[in-house]
Amino acid sequence: MEKKFIVLYGSQTGTAEEVAERLWKKIKCLNFQGFVKPMDEYEVVRLIHEPLVIFVCSTTGQGEEPDNMKNFWRFLLRKNLPAHSLAGVSFAVLGLGDSSYTKFNFVAKRLYRRLIQLGGTALTPIGLADDQHDLGPDAVVEPWEKNLISSICNRYQIPIEIKLESPGNFLTRYKAIVVPDAEVSESLLLSEKESEKERFQKGWSMECPVDAVVRENTRITSENHFQDVRLLKFSTDSLEYSPGDVLMVCPHNLKENVDKFFEVTSFKPEQRICLHTNDPDVTPPPSKFRSVSEGGGGGITVRECAETVWDLSRQPGRQTLALMSTFSTNELEKEKLEELASTEGQDDYLSYVCRPRRSMIELLADFPMTTAALTLDQTFDVLRPIRPRAFSIASSSKAHPGEIHLLVAVVNYKTRIVTPRLGLCSNWLARLSPGEKIPIWVRRGSLRFPSEPSTPLIMVGPGTGIAPFRSFISEQVAMNNASADKLVLFFGCRNKSGDYLCGNEWENWRRDNKIIFFCAYSRDQPDKVYVQHLIKKEGDTLKKLLLDKKGMFMIAGNAKFMPTQVKEAMLEALEIQENQEEFMNMLETQGRLQTETWS
């Protein structure tokens, strides 16, 4: 049997890409030849010739496929594809999702069913990873991965006892070559000098962002409130966006973590390096990592890597610990890393990493001998890249021309570790000063606001969940379409004096009869009051707008308990006692019930 395979992924955030690369490495260790790619970069008509295909995909929005999977999925849905099209294909599907969403891993489930319909043979049952699990996605990914490897070994008669991550089997993706300071290539300089118009015509993306200037960075919660929430305003004339869109930001590591990195490693900050692939199946590194002779920009310094490439704040997964153990030259540290990475050491891993939210930089400091022995090649595998973060846009291009606003809750909390836990992106944004520039781009969000101005809309947005609704209402006001007979907003905060975000705006719009506004101040009275409590009291309003006038109901905010409780309150207010699930499914199918949440 020919030992060829491919790993295809679809993801909006990069998590699926990381998991796909990990699977690719493990299957390569079994002496297979294959590559890993986003689904839309793969020539899908060749799928019928592939003996082994691994799919890793996430779900976006209201059960939609990610952007880099849309064309692939559209092709698979063609009605003229014969039922036996994939009869020669063995496959496996791993979904990465969040069970706080109604359509949990919806895309992976649909893909799995469609591959079966087309005659494909499943090597192992579908894997449905859940961000809400205590161990995160790894709680499902790791056992699923083991089952997959076992199935592949059985199918191809490969000895199952092969140790996939032994030093002899493991190959780093890149070879890091230290080079003298090189001149930036002329081609790169030319590309940087492209006019804003030319770049805009190409479409903004991670590869082609726009520089936005920080105009304002204001704390909008009181100084004595436990939570620092920022209203950030950026100036840019080049970005077009609509209510419901999200702003993508790729943060830098915090200065203290960069300084700590060079304390615990043996790397020289100003060394310039270029990357070369160690395997022809590995995707070439971005231009900035390539030498001038290879059409790149002449390399990047190790300091730049520590500041803008490697994510020093993320929690290390068990796979990372296992990988570090293969590189470790110290027996005690090696043994401890292996123990933490093992299934038997799961409780220790929870206590060491998950519960205290230990970061990658702290792990490196806790295993100094292993860290000191790391090579630059290995570091590109041990440290994952900083991934862009998505923020719901809180402004309207019509109400705020030339600007784009964000509402950002700065993540800062304590665990049993003395040093406070700081969210990477929110703290980086909070430290920006007016006049600074950051690269940004816009992506379509999961919320689809009504296109018909007369459609009633009920919005529920506690805390910074208010952001997309501020965007929509601002636009309706600017277009003279806002009216209290069709726009209802439920907002929730702790107290009016502490975190009544953008309170003056809601009050003004309510006074001008632009919206009906309800606010739950959860701590301003002896009994806690949340948005769901107010929703239950507004049955007549909800029945009129949602049932009689066929309006829409939108929820945005924290994913933990709020969305479920709000939906239950809505059903109670509407007095829907029978066939509740069918009713909710009907609203979701029609796009009249939408949720945008985050952990």
Query: Which residue ranges form the domains of the chain, and what is each CATH number?
Result: 4-156 (3.40.50.360), 457-598 (3.40.50.80)
Are residues 106 and 75 in contact, defined by beta-carbon separation less than 8 angstroms? no
pTM above 0.85, yes or no: yes
Token pair of 146 as six digits = 């083991």
pLDDT over threshold 90, residue 404: yes
Residue 565 C-beta-side C-alpha neighbours within 13 Å: 14
The Cα–Cα gap between 489 and 518 comes to 6
pLDDT over threshold 80, residue 410: yes
The Cα–Cα gap between 294 and 300 comes to 14
**pLDDT in the model for residue 205:** 73
- Give the DSSP H/E element, type plus range, for residue 455: none
Mean of pLDDT values over 436-454: 92
Instruction: State percent of the chain over pLDDT 70.
Output: 93
Task: Specify the length of the chain in residues.
Answer: 599
Q: Which residues are 526's β-sheet partners?
A: none
Of 16-20, 453-457, 485-489, the poorest mean pLDDT is in 16-20
Mean of pLDDT values over 530-534: 97
The Cα–Cα gap between 129 and 100 comes to 12
Contacts of 521 by beta carbon, 8 Å cutoff, 6+ apart: 493, 494, 495, 496, 500, 529
Nearest 10 degrees: Cα torsion 114, 115, 121, 123 = -100
The Cα–Cα gap between 522 and 531 comes to 9
Backbone phi and psi for residue 2, each to the nearest 5 degrees, phi listed first: -70, 130
From residue 458, alpha-carbon distances to 167, 446, 593 in Å are 57, 16, 10
The Cα–Cα gap between 79 and 190 comes to 46
